[in-house]
Amino acid sequence: MRIESMNKPGDTGADVVLPVCVSRRFFLKVAGALGSGLVLGFFVPESGRLAYAENDEKYVVPNAFLRIAPDGTVTVIVNRLESGQGINTSLSMLIAEELDVSWSQIRSELAPAGPEFKDPFLGMQMTGNSCSINHCYTQYRKIGASARAMLIAAAAQKWQVGAAECHTENGVVYGPLDLKSGYGSLADAAMQQPVPDDISLKDPKNFSLIGTSVLRLDSRAKANGTQQFGIDFTLPGMKVAVIARPPVFGATVASVDAVKARAVKGVLDVFKVATDRGGSGVVVIADGYWPALQGRDALLVKWNTFNSNKVSSDQQLIAYKELSKTVGTVALKADVSALAGAAKKITAEYTFPYLAHAPMEPLSCVIVLEESACTVWAGSQLQTIDQTVIARIAGLKPDQVTLNTMMSGGSFGRRAVPTSDYLAEATHVAMAWRDAGKSGPLKIMWSREDDIRGGYYRPVHVHRAEIGLDKHGTIVAWDHTIVGQSITAGTPFEALMVKNGVDSTMVDGMGAPYNLPLKLTVHHPSVNVPVLWWRSVASTHTAFVMETLIDEAATTAGIDPVLYRKKLLGDSHPRQIAALDLAVKKSGYGQMHLPKGHAFGVAMHTCFNSVVAYVVEASVTHGVPRLHNVWAGVHCNRAVNPLSIESQVQGAVLMALSTTLHGAAITLKDGVVEQKNFNDYTVARMSDTPKVQVAIVVSGDAPAGMSEPGLPPLAPAYANAIARLTGQRLRKLPFELSTAVQSKATAP
């Protein structure tokens, strides 16, 4: 991986920091049960929606963002979900940089649900929108800087010298006359110091950690198998529950014969339970997962599906295509009258299937329900909402629910469900268990089959486009319609995401940053299939459509696709051009001669304020495409941990590649999901993996998001390479390429 400057002359590289208000009013020092040492909390009110006492010192926060133990160990509390994106390491780097502590002293923990851990901009505790570093960049740095100032103040007081006479280095405060003390020995005294009202942050030119490639804090534990994920968590006396859910979403139990299930050794109880979307199911509770699963397999359940809308994918696709031929709700306005007289036209119809998130770790949680309290351990991505839902179902207040955030083996959005489906079901199970006179911890587990068939998919979409070009190849009109379910309708996010009948989670990525006369209308049909954001949300399909059509327009105009994109960008988008130029430079596009039967493909996309451009090398043999090399140019502003960014892009490439492979689709027949496991729902294997090289544009601006932006442009870049080889434009994911197609080009 390389980090190279693509800034124009005159760029200062100075940080543009986010406007986070950090003052003594919102710092809380916490002791008590945590024992001795320096403990700093950081509290952000929820935009005035909650009432607070005038004296914030009355609040005793049970958790903090920073703990310095007497032995000098520094524990950073991460207010997000770590699901493989490396946020434990990157957020800890921000504190370590300003605290001026050796990286070997740093540890991290995931924060439980709590108001003190809410995102400083969103007013809720969550992980999503690729905003963890972006939103916490200043917050975490100021926590580290404040702790450092308090340690210096404690040392100065101890030595009876001025604070200005002291400095820090690698977890040690140095004073005049060779005085020095480690942070651990100063931690208790530092707790007695006032938290500074104003604090100065390091000048970025003095960074020693931020911007360097740092190995992840959890690397060793994951490598040796000691890392505990949510599914690994156990408690003494814990029982395991699995649920037989209705085959059609929202259906209910008509009758159940549990005689054979109860006869399975280890099965303790069987009863009906409420499931997601108003449905009901049957839960089997046993001494372990295997007897619970065997018991579930032995159930004889009849389902009431008469009132359920039974979706069939083939019929749904026909209906969507017909709907796409009609004018929908206007999302973008433009005059497209020039289509009638256009010198050349492109007409295209695109289709995209439902997609499962399919994280490596299926859903699970451990729950202990008592009369006036509930404790849960889960890989929650929406802690604030999940805590509230659990409390509502259990008849408790949110502060009576302790939600411990566990590391998760992937998520990609599946653990950020506005209905809190899997935790809501777990709470219903715990209540039924208690009502049966039982007590103790329960682990509710999903099998891989439950995960694939359990819903909350990336929605099906159909795009229809008509593009007009003049004789010079300039796009003079673009008429576009999208059909797809709204992800946020009926959820707490609707007011924010749906404007004038258009759900932004379906249209983001259309048009901008290109200067285009684009008219866009949308249809949001109601379908009995639960849908959810999937890594990069709207960009999973909008980027594919935009970047393959732009590429096709370039070919139609007889202009190189890189030059065509840069012409459309103009002078107003230097970040996009820098990323594209960097990918082109590293790939040798336009300079290097590829082997016969190979071709370059190009695509670029902006989402979550980060730009990723890809140049890929692909081939087609007997109608079978193969991706060989990927060169990425990334502009995400300041790179806190370049190694983490490289990993994010590599993972995104592999996940995006999965969407192109045969079998990468969720389909339904008569309301029932047809796929069950990885044997019939395709994900990329090691044998599919290309070589991925990542280069990052150097920037001094505050970091943007990087968890998701690497995914959208990969599939269109790959499709564009295939089009250069075969002349066939791919209009759907996963790819469908005729075996009769023969290569028509070997190099650009």
* Residues 355/532, Cβ–Cβ less than 8 Å: no
- Residues 6 or more apart from 212 whose CB is under 8 A from it? 641, 642
Identify whether 62 is preceded by a cis peptide bond (ω within 30 of 0). no
Q: What are the φ and ψ backbone dihedral angles of 434, each rounded to 5 degrees? A: -65, -40
Encode burial over 288-303: b for 16+ CB neighbours within 10 A, e otherwise.
Answer: ebebbbbbbebbebeb
User: From residue 719, how far is each of 470, 600, 602, 617 by CA, in Å?
Assistant: 25, 10, 9, 11
The reported pLDDT for the residue numbered 198 is 87
The reported pLDDT for the residue numbered 40 is 65
Q: What are the φ and ψ backbone dihedral angles of 380, each rounded to 5 degrees? A: -80, 135
Q: What are the φ and ψ backbone dihedral angles of 284, each rounded to 5 degrees? A: -115, 125
User: From residue 656, how far is each of 463, 638, 689 by CA, in Å?
Assistant: 19, 25, 11
Angle (nearest 5°) at CA 448 between 445 and 449: 105
What interhelical angle do 132-159 and 87-99 show, nearest 10?
A: 30
Whole-number Å distance between alpha carbons of 603 and 78: 35
Closest CA to 376 of 387, 361, 389, 388: 387
Residues with pLDDT less than 70, the chain: 1-38, 40-63, 739-748
* Residues 125/65, Cβ–Cβ less than 8 Å: no
Q: What are the φ and ψ backbone dihedral angles of 498, each rounded to 5 degrees? A: -105, 115
- Which residues on adjacent β-strands are paired with residue 617? 600, 629
The reported pLDDT for the residue numbered 31 is 38
Whole-number Å distance between alpha carbons of 57 and 24: 10
- CA atoms within a 13 Å half-sphere pointing along the CA-CB vector of 189: 17
Please give the distance of CA 38 from its chain centroid, rounded to a whole number: 33
Average pLDDT, the chain: 91
User: From residue 455, how far is each of 242, 301, 412 by CA, in Å?
Assistant: 16, 20, 14
**Could you tell me the pTM of the whole model?**
0.92
Sign of CA dihedral 126, 422, 308, 413: positive
* Residues 393/424, Cβ–Cβ less than 8 Å: yes
Q: What are the φ and ψ backbone dihedral angles of 394, each rounded to 5 degrees? A: -80, -5
pLDDT digits (tens, 9 = 90+) for 538-559: 999 999 999 999 999 999 999 9
429: helix, coil or strand? helix
Q: Residue 288: what residue type?
A: G
Neighbours of 588 (CB within 10 A): 15
* Residues 575/8, Cβ–Cβ less than 8 Å: no
The reported pLDDT for the residue numbered 308 is 87
The reported pLDDT for the residue numbered 41 is 59
Whole-number Å distance between alpha carbons of 155 and 159: 6
Q: What are the tokens at 482? A: 């999208």
Q: Which helix (H) or strand (E) holds 96?
A: helix 87-99
Whole-number Å distance between alpha carbons of 352 and 481: 14
Burial of 312 (0-12, 13-18, 19+ CB in 10 A): middle
Whole-number Å distance between alpha carbons of 225 and 229: 10
* Residues 22/138, Cβ–Cβ less than 8 Å: yes
Encode burial over 465-498: b for 16+ CB neighbours within 10 A, e otherwise.
Answer: bbbbbeeebebbbbbbbbbbbbbbbebebeeebb
Domains parsed from the chain with CATH numbers: 18-200 (3.30.365.10), 230-307+363-445 (3.30.365.10), 326-354+457-726 (3.30.365.10)
Neighbours of 269 (CB within 10 A): 18
Whole-number Å distance between alpha carbons of 545 and 551: 10
- Residues 6 or more apart from 286 whose CB is under 8 A from it? 239, 240, 241, 264, 266, 267, 268, 292, 295
Closest CA to 116 of 41, 4, 197: 41
Q: What is the DSSP letter of 250?
A: T
pLDDT digits (tens, 9 = 90+) for 465-481: 999 999 999 999 999 99
Q: What are the tokens at 631? A: 């060169």
Strands 74-78 and 66-68: antiparallel
Burial of 376 (0-12, 13-18, 19+ CB in 10 A): buried
DSSP 496-545: HHEETTEEHHHHTTSSTTS---EEEEEE----SS-B---TTTTHHHHHHH
